[in-house]
Amino acid sequence: MGFESQEERRGQEQPVAVSGSTGVALADGEDSGEGKKIFEVGGKTFVLDCKKAEAVFAAKKVINGIDTMTFNLLPLKYQWAYDLYRNMKANHWEPEDIPMNEDIGQWRSTDQLSDSDRWIIRMGIGYFSAAEGIVGDNIIHVIREIVTAPELKLVLGRHAHEENIHADSLLYMISSLGIDPHECEAMFVDVESIVAKNEFVTRISKDMRRDLDMTLIENIQNLARNMFVFGQCMEGTQFYGLFGMILSLYRQNKFPGIGQMFSYTLRDESNHIELLRQLLMCLGEENPSIWTNEFKESLVELMKEAVELEKRFIDDCLPVEALGLNREDFNQYIDFIADRRLEGVGLAVLNSGVKNPFPWLAEVMDFKKEQNFFEGTVTEYQKTSALKKPLSDSDL
């Protein structure tokens, strides 16, 4: 499979990207005479000189594009990136908006939680405290550094900021529950399955922090591998074991505040997965020579490794089976999620026909439904932020 089915897969809900391939013209704008056209971007209108706009458009690329310090977004070539940025911004949340009193009451009580409930929360806070930082750092220092189109840098900046929000939400959980921060840090070193998961991604990031000749196929493949590992293997698959467990507890009315924060985080992650998926697809479209069978197989192998590491981690999270939390089901769930990620980027699946063992979780995590699921709460946030409009002329 190649990139042909991309438009199809995006379906109705996803904004259609103007393809990066050569020969694609500037998106249609309304002619306003004298060699100028009117373009609508995010509800705003711009009049651009056709010749200049076409030249900039043609020079914009995922990598090795026009080298500019001026962050000129117009004309947009990667419309999907701008639309995604707007969508991410509309879903903004802050940890302190979420009440933690019930969680604190449960944490302090002697009879409301089992040992495994507490352990899952500790593992969740411990793993994500390291992971959120690793993702944000890779976005800023590897991917955003190498890509050249300003609208791609824009959405990647928002991605990194959301990882900061996630990291901050973990501090809020640690302080609310009174967890010893050093105990949490120690988990990055002491829990072998966390160490292994972190090493799996940092090795794909570390070597890319230097000037790379991005005209070399090998380096373009390294970037593509980085996008795949961070987007599809880590955020897309290795986050989902704990997401599933914490949302299972949430469903049993345990940790309502933490559950809500993780549901917001999950919604953000689904945008990050989509961002890195689209970016990888566009990179492949513009550099078709990287997408060899050998390279594709190497990506599937990496996913296989990611899945094995996640299953080991699930074992550590669930040393004993807890209420409604069955290890085998979680392993199957990871197989199911991993295949959806592979399919999403046109790669061969690992476990054809594997079923989602958590139909209720599908309501929360199903790729098409997940945004709808949280609609109620998202709207609340949007209303809150709408109250804090920036000053307009009439306010002055």
Note the residues at the interface with Fe ion (CB under 5 A). 132, 163, 166
Q: Give the nearest distance from C-beta 136 to Mn ion in angstroms.
A: 8
Instruction: State how far the Cα of 78 lies from the Cα of 114, in Å rounded to an integer.
Output: 49
Instruction: State how far the Cα of 57 lies from the Cα of 293, in Å rounded to an integer.
Output: 31
Q: Which region among 70-78, 269-277, 291-299, 318-326 touches Mn ion (by CB under 5 A)?
A: 269-277
370 binds, among Mn ion, Fe ion, none (CB under 5 to 8 A by kind): none
The dihedrals phi and psi of 315, each to the nearest 5 degrees, come to -60, -40
Q: What is the 3-state secondary structure (H, E, C) of 318-384?
A: CCCCECCECHHHHHHHHHHHHHHHHHHCCCCCCCCCCCCCCHHHHHHHCCCCHHHHCHHHHHHHHHH
Cβ neighbours around 325 below 10 Å, total: 20
Q: Which is nearer to Mn ion, 154 or 322 (CB)?
A: 154
* Residue of minimal Cβ distance to Mn ion: 272
> Angle 181-190/192-206 helices, nearest 10 degrees?
80
286 binds, among Fe ion, Mn ion, none (CB under 5 to 8 A by kind): none
341 binds, among Mn ion, Fe ion, none (CB under 5 to 8 A by kind): none
Among 37, 61, 272, 341, binds Mn ion (CB under 5 A): 272
Catalytic residues, by residue number, are: 172
Q: Give the nearest distance from C-beta 326 to Fe ion in angstroms.
A: 26
296 in contact with Mn ion (CB under 5 A): no
370 in contact with Mn ion (CB under 5 A): no
274 in contact with Mn ion (CB under 5 A): no
By CB under 5 A, the residues from 133 to 162 that bind Mn ion are: 135
Q: Which is nearer to Fe ion, 126 or 150 (CB)?
A: 126
Q: How far apart are the first and last CA of the chain?
A: 58
Q: Give the nearest distance from C-beta 186 to Fe ion in angstroms.
A: 22
Within a 13 Å sphere around the CA of 212, how many CA atoms are in the beta-carbon half? 24
Which residue is listed with tokens 């908006």? 97
Q: Which is nearer to Mn ion, 46 or 367 (CB)?
A: 367
Classify each residue of 182-192 as buried b or exposed e, where b means 16 or more C-beta atoms within 10 Å of its C-beta: eebeebbeebe
Q: Which is nearer to Fe ion, 163 or 339 (CB)?
A: 163
Interacting residues toward Mn ion by CB under 5 A: 135, 235, 269, 272
